[in-house]
Amino acid sequence: MVPGWGRSLWCLVVAFLCILCVRPGWAQTTATPDTGVLIDVPSPLTARDVDRILARLSQIAVTSKRGDASDSGRTTVVMRLRESGANERTDTGRPSENQPANESDGTSFTRATTFEDALKIARAVSSADLKRVRVVAWVDGAVSGHDVLLPLASETILVSSAGSIGDAGRFEPQLDDTIGVLYQSIARRRALIPTELVDGLVDSSQEVANVNLIDGESSFLSGDSLLAARSDGRVVSETTLANAGEPLVLDANQLRQIRAAAAVVDSEGTVSDWLELNELQSDDPRSIDQAVGRLVRVTGNITGSRVRRWQSNLAASIDSPDVNTWLVAIDSPGGNLNRSASLAATLADPGIAIQAVGGWVTGEARGDAALIALACQPLLMSPEATIGGSGADAMSPEDVQRQSELIDMIAESTGRSAALIRGMLDPSLSVHRYVHRRSGRVRYATSEQIRQETNEDESSDWQRMEKIELGSGLNASQAIELGLAEATSESLQVAAASVGLNEVPPELSDRGIVRWVERLGGQTGLAMSLLVIGFMMLSIEASAPGLGLPGFISLVCFAFFFWIKYLAGTAEWAELLAFGLGLACIGIEIFVLPGFGVFGVGGLILTAIGVMLMSQTFVIPQNAYQLGELTRGLWVALGGLGGCVLGMILVRMYLPQAALATGLSMGVPEANLDESERLAHYDDLMGQTGEATTPLRPSGKARFGERIVPVVSDATAIDAGQSIRVIQVLGNRITVEAVD
């Protein structure tokens, strides 16, 4: 018999063992509910969106706390799926109504999430790599298309009262059997939705029903399985969910009835309560970490040296551990398709370190520069900006065709139409809007592209609508309407905010003086002013040799003109050589060979050619933009030569009276010059007639009898051999006039 105290001790031991068995963690404090992450999944998904979401999920998996096998040791991620297309504009720039296209007014669907992009996320979500992440799909709207694949891959499905999933094959004109197999493979990993319903979600041609069989079993059947059960007489009763040819759509009640959805929730707070989360933090899939950016300005003509400098600066920013965002400000007429393609490839595929590449077209992105702008996502435009149209580089269809792989990559990463991108680079390409007759899907393509994809006449499934005019470029509203830009922005601050930056980021490392000169180079009036002043000072120096200061100012103006054109990408050493030779020939004509002959004419021509070539990247214009540039360059050259004439007029009118120049300019000899100060006596020539032996421009030589003496004309040009008469003799200066 156990004593009383022993019995009490035995009871305490038994109670202690029971507590350990029932609750091993009794000694621990009660676990506090975790904090979950809410990710709004964009629709349609682009390749860049997919990479950002997967990178965010991987980061959460790495940083997730290590605990026991329960849910408290995992991080809950809620992927909210809204109405397909609700997060984005439609292809026409209007909000999606989620209704079939009205072919009469042109209303259209949004671009669709591709099966490959949806499958990439679905495989990752349902794989063991994310075992420390509890992925919950919150269907908060009418989810259709391949966005349906994401709930099937999730661990838990929550649905709002207005939510539904269905019509997964909505944007597939010709359904591939492989797609159905992969849908089944993903769905079996979670087993949330019966396989027969998955078939109906993908293939709208199958009839789907909930049947009660004679053996008392209730199940979902579709297609051939349903027909076989009917023909065998095994069906007692049935409820049709979707007739053949109608898409299967499962609403919130149906998802709850088949136990696919765990609960019906209509707010973030309700989601947090149901998942027993202390807090549900919203997370932007574009921002894995806090956005830290750098700004690069793509301005002026596109040249090899400038692209290498930009790429070098971008590569240097990747090495910085905190930089994860690029912002590109574009104002360029293009200039070299191959160089633009190289920079566009860098922006379209910057690597995993860069989360977002935003763009802002401040003025224009013409020609091949449009490819650089379209590689940015998101892309904003100033309300007065232009994208596309003829630019500084005349691109041939063959040149554009060689960039097909890059264009497809940009279209995939940004979700833009590859046909529209090609059409902006190649005006000869005829791009139309097409509407699919059955699904109402809208796309932009060429007739040849439609025929190649369908292997039949384009009119069978796709109805061709209006032609998209791309040859003259697009303004901001047109670009947004076609899905080539996201929004308008009047400031760089708004563009920075579009990629998650709180303020305009600092510019990439570059010399400030270079950026300053490049900005000045964009001012056409400054270039002309430099030429006018330069030629004016050169004219003054030529008219009064030895003055010095005008010649120095002229040299500085010409050097600065070449520098800004060089940094702008329009001037190279060949242009400088032509310009320099022209000035040298003019100098020879003025100082070495008085008159106006081959060196004078050739110098003017070379100078004009040099100025024009410094203002453009081509020799012979091949499109409207280049023709306009040639006209502007011609006016700049004429303005510079006009400065030369203006300088001569100023010298003739004001230099002899200028106080600072009286000691440097040659004054008029006094009439009563002392005879002893004269080197020669020419008074006897007064009134005599003779013959000019050299051209008088205005100085030269003339023959009077047997004497040949230096003379000057009375401000008129006199050819050699023309008769002349002496009208004034002042010391050694003999002034003559032509005799008719």
pLDDT tens-digit readout, 327-355:
999 988 888 888 899 999 999 888 777 88
Q: Do domains 34-99+107-204+247-283 and 293-431+468-510 have the same CATH topology?
A: yes
Mean pLDDT of 128-141: 87
pLDDT the model gives residue 359: 92
Pair 125, 153: CB distance under 8 Å: yes
Q: What is the pLDDT of residue 137?
A: 92
What value does the mean pLDDT take over residues 576-589?
Answer: 75
Mean pLDDT score, 489-496: 88
- Residue 98 exposure: Cα atoms within 13 Å on the Cβ side: 17
Residue 6 has pLDDT above 60, yes or no: no
In this predicted structure, the answer to whether residue 4 has a pLDDT above a threshold of 60 is no
Q: Which of 380-389, 509-518, 568-577 has the lowest mean pLDDT?
A: 509-518
User: pLDDT at position 80, please?
Assistant: 92
Averaged over 145-166, what is the pLDDT? Answer: 91
Report the pLDDT value the prediction gives residue 197, as an integer from 0 to 100: 86
The residue that leads in pLDDT, 110 or 647, is 647
Report residue 361's pLDDT band, with 50, 70 and 90 as the boundaries: very high
Which of 170 and 155 is assigned the larger pLDDT? 155
Distance CA 216, CA 213 (A): 5
Distances in Å between the Cα of 195 and the Cα atoms of 217, 221, 607, 732 are 16, 9, 80, 115
Predicted structure pTM score = 0.55
Q: How far apart are CA 45 and CA 56, in angstroms?
A: 15
pLDDT given at position 329 = 93
d(CA 45, CA 118): 8
CATH number, domain 293-431+468-510, options 3.60.10.10, 3.90.226.10, 3.40.50.300, 3.20.20.70: 3.90.226.10
Q: Are 693 and 736 in contact (CB under 8 A)?
A: no
Q: Please report, for the chain, the start and end positions of each structural domain, with discontinuous segments joined by +.
A: 34-99+107-204+247-283, 293-431+468-510, 514-661, 675-738
Name the average pLDDT for the chain: 76
Most distant CA atoms of the chain, gap in Å: 167
**pLDDT reported for residue 67:** 41
C-alpha 450/C-alpha 464 separation (Å) is 10
Tell me the pLDDT tens digit for each residue of 707-736. 888 888 876 778 888 889 998 888 778 888
Of the listed ranges 20-24, 130-134, 314-318, 436-440, the least confidently predicted one is: 20-24
What is the spatial distance between Cα 420 and Cα 198, in angstroms, rounded to a whole number? 35
Query: What percent of the chain clears pLDDT 70, i.e. is strictly above it?
Result: 72
Q: How much is the pLDDT for 374?
A: 93
In this prediction, residue 244 carries a pLDDT of 84
Per-residue pLDDT, averaged over 238-261, amounts to 87
Which pLDDT score, from 0 to 100, does residue 22 have? 40
Provide mean pLDDT across the span 506-532. Answer: 65
Class of the CATH-defined domain 675-738? mainly beta
Statement: residue 94 has pLDDT above 50: no
Strand ranges inside 256-308, DSSP E? 263-264, 279-283, 293-299
Calculate mean pLDDT across residues 3-24.
47
Q: CA 75, CA 71: separation in Å to the nearest integer?
A: 8
pLDDT at 520: 61
Average pLDDT of the segment spanning 383-402: 85
CA gap 325, 125 in Å, rounded: 26
Give the sheet arrangement for strand 164-166, strand by strand: 142-143, 164-166, 249-251
Provide the pLDDT for residue 460.
61
Question: What is the band of 8 on the pLDDT scale with cuts at 50, 70, 90?
Answer: low
Percentage above 90 pLDDT, the chain: 10
Confidence band of 150 (pLDDT split at 50, 70, 90): very high
Per-residue pLDDT, averaged over 25-49, amounts to: 66
**CB of 190 within 8 A of CB of 130?**
no
pLDDT of 588: 72
The pLDDT assigned to 109 comes to: 37
603-614 average pLDDT score: 73
Q: What is the pLDDT of residue 89?
A: 37
Distances (CA, A) of 385 to 69, 327, 333, 348, 413: 56, 17, 12, 22, 24
pLDDT beyond 70 at 65: no
pLDDT value for 78: 92
Q: Taking 50 as the threshold, does the pLDDT of residue 188 lie above it?
A: yes
| 519: confidence class by pLDDT, cuts 50, 70, 90 | low
247-261, 292-306, 509-523: lowest mean pLDDT where?
Answer: 509-523
446-466 mean pLDDT: 73
**Burial category of 98 from C-beta neighbours within 10 Å (exposed 0-12, middle 13-18, buried 19 and up):** middle
Class of domain 34-99+107-204+247-283 (CATH, top level): alpha beta
Q: Indicate whether 607 pLDDT > 80.
A: no
Closest CA to 705 of 727, 726, 688: 688
